[in-house]
Amino acid sequence: MQKKAQNIFVRRTVFAAAATFLGTVFALPLVWFFFAPFNARAELGLAIPSPFTLSNFATVFQNTFAMQALLNSLIQAAGGVVLVGAAATLAAYALSRSPIPGKGAVTYILLLFSSVVSGSAAMVPIFLIISAAGLIDTHLAVILVFAGGLLPTAMFILRDFIDAIPRSYEESAMVAGASPLQAFFDVALPVIRPGIVVVVVWAFVNIWGSFLIPFILLRSDKLMPASVAIYSFYSEAGTPIVTLLAAYSLIYSLPVIALYLLVNWKFGFRFFGGIKS
Amino acid sequence: MKKFSLLSTRAGALFLAPASALVGVFVIIPFFWVIFVSFTNRTLLGRTAVDPDFVGLQNYFALFNPTTFFTRGQFGFSLILTIQFVLLSALIGQALLGLLLAWLSQSVTPTLKSFLQTAVIAAWILPEVVIGFAWFAFLDYDNGTLNMILRGLGLPPGDWLLQQPFWVIVFFNTWRGAAFSMMLFNSAFQSIPPSYFQAADVAGATSWQKLRDIALPLIRGHVVTDLILITMWTFNVFTPFLLTHGGPSYRTEILSIYTYRIAFKDFEFGKGAAVGVVIMLINLAFALVYLRLAHKKPAEAE
């Protein structure tokens, strides 16, 4: 019996050591980010700032181009999120509640297309469609392309969510005299809301962080989102201005971190599978 | 009582319209358009930008030309590089590491578990350009954290982005994506009744035996789902571009970067579209397998 207790102790130690090691390895490339933004003399090396300063942030906040880029990211992400949220909710509700023929086939084909038409396969035709529509170098181009790309997965997640809600909620509302639209807006929508939040957060993070689509579709500096604009923090000699890049990267990452924490706190660690864009 | 429908067919169609329009224009039309463009010599600039000629299979012959197929910077080289990249960074790297991380998370203290998960998930959720820049600093020859550690351990430092660019993007993608597999396996392990493990504990099973004989057979469906999804994503990922731009001398030019170069650097849209079609065919094969499995076992399709 004592030997068994000893074995358990050894096993626990080995597991704890392995977990610590792996956690450290994963954290290493990011450790630099904890310090560099607060160091007025930051370089690519790891160094504890002395003194700790917010001057890098002050410089970034004074840089109108950098701030404009954050605003552009916000415009594009917000636009995409509103479109995806609204269109996906309506579509998912229809797929779940209306007797449209061939619903299963529609869902299947949507999922198939959305996973086959990836960013790398579709960059040529998406560029061509956007230029044919005269939308090259507009916020709308980025918003529409993301909305189309993210919608199938968003619809799929929301349809699962709505399927899990008893029909009797809306049925009793309609027996009491509500119209189908009232049943949707006043009864179903409040119940679906957590699902919509998840989809909206997921879409926001996807658009906010993306590089390739705005990189291809936008040209003028005043429309660039932060993900592309960040590459302008290089000196004329082509070396990165590390202090600005580090501080800007941190600011740009904050919304994503905040949203992750929010979802984690509100919904726990529920796992929503699906196809990333 | 007759079951009445909550939403008439007409209202349902109306509800579906905005989503159908968006998906139609930006997903389904591109699918067919890229096939069409791949049979033309369309370019970004010049006469063929507005009035491209139909060239039949010429773009495909150019891609699969046996004399240049395996040359660096050509399609075949890029395709083989991508397959190696997927095998090493997704199937071996992300999946195995994700399994290990999830298994470790089961059996360590809550504090250690949250440290581990936070580090792994941070690598996954941060925006790709931020991650790209962090790795650029991490790998810097003179001051980077990696070389600092290597020097501290008495090992030779390296200019990794120049000397071992392919292994850099393999490790990078493993590091970046392991969180997904970890979370999927986390939830898979949690679906196993604890009594199974308790019974094995009583019988004196080791951790490895529990993983091999109890856990893995029960989560087989999750494993297959995980492998297919991460294969598809890694196959299409563009993020290594932010680290290496496909270089040096095409050594990290996976297919997504190759397509970008052909279409948007060399301006050969026809040829770029042909690469897109090949990528879509490969995606299609994986997607069909995935949807078939997901269809069969809805419980495990999550």
Average pLDDT over every residue of B140-159: 84
Q: Is residue A247 part of a domain?
A: yes
What pLDDT score was predicted for residue A78? 93
CATH of the domain at A79: 1.10.3720.10
Q: How far is A219 from chain B (nearest CA, A)?
A: 13
Q: Is residue A34 part of a domain?
A: no
Which one of B125, B269, B287 has the shortest CB-CB distance to A112?
Answer: B287
Average pLDDT over every residue of A216-225: 87
DSSP type of residue B268: B
- The pLDDT tens digits for A153-171 are 888 888 888 888 888 888 8
Q: Is residue A33 part of a domain?
A: no
Q: How confident is the model at residue B270 (pLDDT cuts 50, 70, 90)?
A: confident
What gap in Å lies between CA B68 and CA B249, rounded to an integer? 16
Choice among A36-50, A117-131, A250-264, B192-206 with the minimum mean pLDDT = A36-50
Q: Is residue A185 part of a domain?
A: yes
Q: Is residue A53 part of a domain?
A: no
Q: How far is B187 from chain A (nearest CA, A)?
A: 7
Domain that includes residue A120, residue range? 59-267
Contact check, Cβ <8 Å, A28/B23 = no
Choice among A94-103, B168-177, B257-266 with the minimum mean pLDDT = A94-103
What pLDDT score was predicted for residue B296? 61
Q: Give me the amino acid identity at B131.
A: I
Q: For a pLDDT cut of 90, what percent of chain B falls above it?
A: 7
**Max avg pLDDT among A149-158, A163-172, B86-95, B263-272:** B86-95
What angle (nearest 5°) sits at the alpha carbon of residue A23, between those of residues A21 and A29?
A: 105
Q: Is residue A110 part of a domain?
A: yes
The answer to whether A197 touches A219, Cβ cutoff 8 Å, is no
Positions of E strands within chain B: none
Q: For a pLDDT cut of 70, what percent of chain A falls above it?
A: 92
What pLDDT score was predicted for residue A144? 92
Which of B9, B22, B149 would you mutate first to test chain A, the one with the most A CBs within 10 A?
B22
Identify the closest residue of chain A to B118 by CA–CA distance: A23
- Rounded to two decimals, the pTM is 0.84
Q: Domains of chain B (ranges plus CATH)?
A: 71-300 (1.10.3720.10)
Average pLDDT over every residue of B113-129: 87
Token duo for residue B274: 């042909």
What gap in Å lies between CA A115 and CA A149, rounded to an integer? 9
Q: B198: burial class by Cβ within 10 Å (0-12, 13-18, 19+)?
A: exposed
Token duo for residue B186: 């986390």
Identify the closest residue of chain A to B225 by CA–CA distance: A273
The position carrying tokens 């200019």 is B159
What pLDDT score was predicted for residue B12? 79
ipTM for this prediction: 0.81
The answer to whether B202 touches B121, Cβ cutoff 8 Å, is no
**Max avg pLDDT among A25-39, A105-119, B273-287:** B273-287
The answer to whether A81 touches A204, Cβ cutoff 8 Å, is yes
Q: Is residue A224 part of a domain?
A: yes
Q: Is residue A8 part of a domain?
A: no
Total number of domains in chain A: 1
The answer to whether A215 touches B96, Cβ cutoff 8 Å, is no
